[in-house]
Amino acid sequence: MTAKAADLQSLERDLSARIAAASDDASLEAIRVEALGKQGSVSALMKTLGSMSPDERKQFGPKLNALKESVSEAILAKKAAFAEAALEAQLKSEALDVTLPPVRPRVGTIHPVSQVMEELARIFGEMGFTVEEGPDIETDFNNFTALNFPSKHPAREMHDTFFMNATDEAGARKVLRTHTSPVQVRTMLKQKPPIRMICMGRTYRCDSDSTHTPMFHQIEGLVIDETSSMADLKSVLIAAIKAYFEVDDVRLRFRPHHFPFTEPSAEVDVGCDRSGGQIRIGAGADWLEILGSGMVHPNVLRNCGIDPEKYQGYAFGMGIDRLAMLKYGMNDLRAFFDADVRWLKHYGFSPYLLPGLAAGVG
């Protein structure tokens, strides 16, 4: 074997060992430049071909070409192996376990009052009621006069009602509405019967203890058409209260009462059990007052431009905060409005479980 052939063999061994040992693309590229680049060891040998005798060239040329080819093939093969390993590693790092449960972002909780409003909107919505709104600052006419309150009625006195300094067009001081009933007036003034609506919102009275706050929430209901009767009022309220408390044997007691805006009027009590210091709706021999109701007074219809000879209907009003306390077991109303995040975490509801046909009402 000629010296050149021996050189060639050792160069081939050396290069293939180094290619095999290369650990990344960069070191592979360095080997390629060292061997096959312009100044590379294989290229240098190629240059010697010109000065060889024809015999030498015949013997040496093909070997050199074969070396060049096998080195570049080995480098390409190694590069392909690196690329495959990199892809493998990337796929592994991006692997998704699609069998894991979805991760829900934390977005706080829904306040019990909002939750109950949502429940009531669904319940009455399914019974064909639309939802109306009115402002917190009301005229004396909408809050009292149109609702047939006599001018000397105690609710008009300073210790019950928050009066604003501003006066309305009639020169009367505006009020923070003391109930949601003025929305009855607003609805009748803007819409002809048939009317079938509820309204929910904030109401205000000068009052504060563990079951009263100066601001609280009410729901109002109003149905006006040519035939609706006390019997319809009863069946709607019984169905709504059963759906709300999710108890089948809810008992309601309609007790004669007086409101200026209804005649006849009834307060409604729900059957409960008070033993053990807790109120349980459904079972037991006790009663708890939860709402006021009645047939809309002809004077109210007249005040709102509706002919009482042709139209009649019923109305009802309930405290939303009280309904929330009874269903979800809170006993101090003041905590509702403290904005204490620990209380909200404990009593709040998941925004992902808003009431509806699929999730159930509560």
* Closer to ligand DAH by Cβ: residue 8 or 228: 228
Closest CA to 203 of 295, 292, 128: 292
Q: How far is the CB of 178 from ligand DAH (least distance, A)?
A: 7
Q: How far is the CB of 164 from ligand DAH (least distance, A)?
A: 19
Which range, of 61-69, 77-85, 291-299, 348-356, touches ligand DAH by CB under 6 A? 291-299
Question: Which residue in the set 220, 228, 236, 321 belongs to the binding site for ligand DAH (CB under 6 A)?
Answer: 220
- The Cα–Cα gap between 40 and 11 comes to 12
- The Cα–Cα gap between 94 and 89 comes to 9
- How many residues in total does the chain contain? 362
Which range, of 28-36, 75-83, 312-320, 330-338, touches ligand DAH by CB under 6 A? 312-320
Question: Which residue in the set 115, 139, 213, 293 belongs to the binding site for ligand DAH (CB under 6 A)?
Answer: 293
* Closer to ligand DAH by Cβ: residue 271 or 294: 294
* Closer to ligand DAH by Cβ: residue 134 or 292: 292
Q: How far is the CB of 260 from ligand DAH (least distance, A)?
A: 9
Question: Which residue in the set 317, 321, 322, 325 belongs to the binding site for ligand DAH (CB under 6 A)?
Answer: 317
* Closer to ligand DAH by Cβ: residue 67 or 295: 295
List, in order, residues 6 or more apart from 31 with CB less than 8 Å away: 15, 18, 19, 22, 75
Question: Which residue in the set 134, 182, 193, 292 belongs to the binding site for ligand DAH (CB under 6 A)?
Answer: 292
Number of residues that bind ligand DAH (CB under 6 A): 11
Q: How far is the CB of 276 from ligand DAH (least distance, A)?
A: 30
Q: Does position 181 bind ligand DAH by CB under 6 A? A: yes
Q: Could you say which residues in the range 137-166 bind ligand DAH, by CB under 6 A?
A: none
Question: Which residue in the set 316, 336, 347, 349 belongs to the binding site for ligand DAH (CB under 6 A)?
Answer: 316
Q: How far is the CB of 269 from ligand DAH (least distance, A)?
A: 14
Token pair listed for 235: 């069946």
Residue window 237-266: x/- pattern of binding to ligand DAH, with contact defined by CB under 6 A: ----------------------x--x----
Q: How far is the CB of 224 from ligand DAH (least distance, A)?
A: 12
Question: Which residue in the set 123, 315, 326, 333 belongs to the binding site for ligand DAH (CB under 6 A)?
Answer: 315
* Closer to ligand DAH by Cβ: residue 292 or 355: 292
Q: How far is the CB of 230 from ligand DAH (least distance, A)?
A: 11
Token pair listed for 90: 């990337």
- The Cα–Cα gap between 267 and 290 comes to 8
Q: Does position 119 bind ligand DAH by CB under 6 A? A: no
Which residue in the block uniquely carries the two structure tokens 């309904």?
323
Q: How far is the CB of 354 from ligand DAH (least distance, A)?
A: 27
Q: How far is the CB of 315 from ligand DAH (least distance, A)?
A: 3
Closest CA to 268 of 258, 282, 281, 255: 255
> Which residues would be at the binding site for ligand DAH (CB under 6 A)?
179, 181, 220, 259, 262, 292-294, 315-317
